[in-house]
Amino acid sequence: EGSVGVIVADDDGPAVSRALAAAGLDHLTLGSDHEDAAHRLHLVPATVAKGLEFDRVVVITAAMVYGADPANDLPVAKDAPLRAADDGGLVTDLLAVEQLAAAARPGGAAAGLTVRRPAMIVGRGADTMLTRHFAGPRLLHLQGERPVWQFCHVDDLLFACEYAGLVPTALPLPA
């Protein structure tokens, strides 16, 4: 059956863990849970990921890594260049996770590695400033501009991660 590692930015770990649990996906969070328990699905904070080995690795960052660049076509293609500016915060962390994923697949796509870059997460359990904005009585936007919104339902993200974890192939992460 093999093991599946879901690598996330450290700050996103608790939210992803809650979403996995809410979807009924039994998992272990490396670095915080009792690691002697037998689990197929492992939630891996990016700072813990180096040197680990899984049959499949699913890396979750965010569409923010593409950056708000006028050169980006809409919708942004999954192979578009990552144009986000290093902000010293969350985007910097996401870009670091992207660099780790790129190092794991030098020269192209690694068979055991999947990167998911969801847009704003919506659905059960998603409570952010932006989801609250959309729950309001009206949407604010700049006059004369047509806003473009992209969303990812939490169930769709979980399905995509589960689907990506179905094909076992050995993939060591760089030490």
**Residue 84's pLDDT band (cuts 50, 70, 90):** very high
pTM above 0.75, yes or no: no
pLDDT of 82 reads 92
**Residue 174's pLDDT band (cuts 50, 70, 90):** very low
Query: Of all residues in the chain, what percent are helix, strand and coil, respectively (each to 5)?
Result: 30, 20, 50
**Residue 110's pLDDT band (cuts 50, 70, 90):** low
**Residue 77's pLDDT band (cuts 50, 70, 90):** confident
Does residue 72 carry a pLDDT above 70? yes
Distance CA 55, CA 44 (A): 14
pLDDT of 133 reads 78
pLDDT of 101 reads 82
pLDDT tens-place string over residues 12-39: 888 888 888 887 888 888 877 555 557 7
Instruction: Report the mean per-residue pLDDT for the chain.
Output: 78
The type of residue at 87 is: D
**Cα 94 to the chain's mean position, in Å?**
9
Q: Region 132-149: what's the mean pLDDT?
A: 76
Find the distance separating the first CA and the last CA of the chain, reported in whole Å: 24
